[in-house]
Amino acid sequence: MPCSDLNYAVLRHAGSDESASLVESLPGLPFEHRPSPMANGAGSLQEFVNLLRLEPAPHLHRAVAEAMTIHETSFFRDVRPFDALRQTIIPALIAQNQAKRRLHIWSAACSTGQEAYSIAMLLLEHFPQLADWDVKIVGSDVSQFVLDAARHARYRRMEVNRGLPVRLLVKYFTRVGDEWQLQSRVRELCEFREANLCAPLPPLPVFDLVLLRNVLLYFSHTDRSSVFARVRRQMNPQGFLLLGNAEQAEDSTDRFSTEFAADYLFYRPATHRPVTCSSCPDARPASFPPD
């Protein structure tokens, strides 16, 4: 059932109260196919909208936010960021963190976990020297529904066919019926926490690398500025920030400066020391992941 303009306005207002700009602006979306609102005792979309009007309860607003939030993701999405990680960024972080032997990475707006797990597989494949380091990859999202799926780490054929090379599928997954279960050696590097980027963040570690990809384009300019401020406070002053291909920080904040390496643009806190080639002795031109 398509969503009418009036019902959409009610839903968007309720969802925005809970998650600010993490709400789709597409009135024609078929909300009846999204589980969160229908799980709250309403038999139809219209019944749920009527319930919202009568009872503006926080748990109902939360259900709307979960249903309207975009969760598009895939393994090794866009490829080029992972080339930059392998060739430049991870080697630089290893060099600068050698004394403390710690590497903390944040996959913000992680959805069902493919980005966090892609990073984990990249580290296992190319950086065996991290085996005895304190490596932690934290995935966060506003939706408990997708976080539960990320922790479960079992993916359908359609999901593993999007961006995941067959070699890595065979090496790091176990087939369970029509689905693929990620092995514990990858999952153990990752943890998943609920966090709303448009609200005060829960206690989180200081991160050496933050991936904030393909989410800021849904935010207003004011919300983007607030998110950049929160992210900067969670970062190591020598850390790295990766955004999506269609996103940039320059128009929303002066807290980050741009750098370019491995044919990829990334950001660092404005007080950092620029990365140099000597920080990246293992850089190789071949693309990752391999076919």
Q: Rounded to whole angstroms, how far apart are CA atoms 237 and 228?
A: 14
**Residue 113 sits in the same domain as residue 254:** yes
**Residue 275 sits in the same domain as residue 178:** yes
Note the pLDDT of residue 257.
94
Question: Which range among 16-20, 176-180, 241-245 shows the weakest confidence by mean pLDDT?
Answer: 16-20
**Residue 160 sits in the same domain as residue 220:** yes
**Residue 52 sits in the same domain as residue 107:** no
**Residue 199 sits in the same domain as residue 85:** yes
Pick from 26, 44, 68: which residue ends a domain? Answer: 68
Pick from 38, 68, 98: which residue ends a domain? Answer: 68
**Residue 132 sits in the same domain as residue 37:** no
Residue 285, in any domain of the structure: no
Note the pLDDT of residue 66.
57
**Residue 221 sits in the same domain as residue 252:** yes
Share of the chain above pLDDT 70, in %: 68
Q: Please, is 123 exposed, middle or buried when counting C-beta atoms within 10 Å of its C-beta (0-12, 13-18, 19+)?
A: buried
Residue 27, in any domain of the structure: yes
**Residue 138 sits in the same domain as residue 239:** yes
Average pLDDT over all residues of the chain: 81
Residue 42, in any domain of the structure: yes
Over residues 112-134, the pLDDT tens digits come to: 999 999 999 999 999 999 999 99
Is the pLDDT confidence value at 216 over 80? yes
**Residue 59 sits in the same domain as residue 109:** no
**Residue 140 sits in the same domain as residue 272:** yes
**Residue 139 sits in the same domain as residue 32:** no
Residue 289, preceding peptide bond in cis (omega within 30° of 0): yes
- State the pLDDT confidence band at 219, using cuts at 50, 70 and 90: confident
What is the CB neighbour count within 10 angstroms for residue 231?
A: 24
**Can you give the pTM of this predicted structure?**
0.77
- The mean pLDDT value for 159-182 works out to 96
Residue 74, in any domain of the structure: no
Question: Which range among 81-85, 117-121, 169-173, 195-199 shows the weakest confidence by mean pLDDT?
Answer: 195-199
Share of the chain above pLDDT 90, in %: 56
The residue among 281 and 264 whose pLDDT is bigger is 264
Q: Which domain holds residue 46?
A: 5-68
Which pair of structure tokens corresponds to residue 114? 């493919």
Note the pLDDT of residue 221.
86
Give the total number of structural domains in the chain.
Answer: 2
Is the pLDDT confidence value at 236 over 80? yes
Ramachandran assignment for 264, one of left (phi > 0), alpha (psi -120 to 50 degrees), beta (any other): beta
Residue 289, in any domain of the structure: no
**Residue 227 sits in the same domain as residue 261:** yes
Note the pLDDT of residue 73.
86
> What type of residue sits at position 102?
R
Residue 199, in any domain of the structure: yes
Note the pLDDT of residue 58.
56
Note the pLDDT of residue 31.
45
Q: 239, 233 in Cβ contact below 8 A?
A: no
Over residues 27-69, the pLDDT tens digits come to: 444 444 444 444 455 556 566 666 666 666 555 555 555 555 5
The pair phi, psi for residue 210, each rounded to 5°, is: -125, 130
CA distance readout (Å), 44 to 41, 50, 137, 270: 9, 10, 39, 50
- The mean pLDDT value for 274-281 works out to 54
Residue 61, in any domain of the structure: yes
- The mean pLDDT value for 204-227 works out to 91
What is the CB neighbour count within 10 angstroms for residue 291?
A: 6
Q: What is the CATH number of the domain that holds 167?
A: 3.40.50.150
